[in-house]
Homo-oligomer: A and B are copies of this chain.
């Protein structure tokens, strides 16, 4: 069932008003749409570039109903939302993408994994934890993950040995084999209402080991073409299996045996796709807007190699953000600076990002590493 919109006055709702919502809103405004943001923080990053904000939480059923009813179509910048009311609204009017049923499935990382596994998508060996003994089913060391609510390295524990078992995560969790990782890869995949699929290049994620947050992304990944093709196919297969509409960040492990496994899927724009704003013909943020508003998808062509670094709040600081090194950083050739206008910095909070375009991916990587050294987000208060 496809809809025809009045594109000169299309009303788009975005649940979530952080940096992903901000750039989504900008791309929707580029196409002339009216944008409403639902977010609990007044004047959140996305609201600053949107027509309207509904101030409310992601588990506030009334506010969720309000944004959906006020909008021709509603989408997400995050998956941690109450799906019960959204499912009812979706059944009535089919104007929420991705579907809240899909969001619900993805919220539970165990169910997500089980779903992909049953569809024949390779995933790491996993098992639900029902009793403490389950933690040791595959032996130790093991990765334990919260089934719900984790992000940016939160809700993940490495249990190295028996002593670590006392630090096991509480609540509903599952375990996953400790994969022998050569590289972490990611692929953005978009699928529109009519089922058209567009797949972005394979990129490589480098992590800040201190906090397990993806820190640097390079595009394209330095992998051979066979692996690239396999990663793209596996990512497309995953989104087709999920019948997803919108944009999806598919995170993959490349093992030391050159085996590919799907780690997890984000049903929204993803940090690993920020580079698309400057480096691709159509950004991930415009692509989701096209996908959910019944428009043809844009070209995912990589126009130039690129690298992206997240700007995380420095350890030791909080309060109003203070940017250090901006002049020297902006002297770097081919650099684009994004700052999210969050009112408060915290250690390791994502405050902005930088993308550098270069003729080679190594050149781009070198430049973002330099930028990472120079630019610091400190704060008005010391912690």
Contacts and interface: CB of A to CB of B under 8 A. Distances in A.
Given A26-B26, A295-B327, A322-B8, A334 B48 contact: no
Contacts of A278: 281
B357 A32 contact: no
A54 to B, nearest CB: 17
A127 B256 CA distance: 77
Contacts of A57: none
B26 A338 contact: no
A83 B290 CA distance: 43
Contact of A49 (B26, B295, B336): B26
Contact of A296 (B26, B322, B327): B327
Given A8-B320, A9-B320, A51-B48, A31 B337 contact: yes
Given A295-B326, A303-B304, A29 B341 contact: yes
B32 A340 contact: yes
A239 interface: no
B295 A330 contact: yes
A377 to B, nearest CB: 8
A31 B282 contact: no
A70 interface: no
Contacts of A50: 49
Given A32-B352, A335-B298, A321 B26 contact: no
Contacts of A22: 29
Given A9-B320, A357-B303, A281 B334 contact: yes
A6 B379 CA distance: 12
Interface string A324-357: 0011001101111111110000000000100001
B331 A32 contact: no
A190 B59 CA distance: 48
Nearest to A304: B303
B330 A290 contact: yes
A185 B252 CA distance: 48
Interface of A: 6-9, 22, 26, 29-32, 34, 48-51, 278, 281-282, 286, 290, 295-296, 298-299, 301, 303-304, 320-323, 326-327, 330-331, 333-341, 352, 357
5 contacts: A8-B320, A29-B341, A32-B340, A32-B352, A301-B357
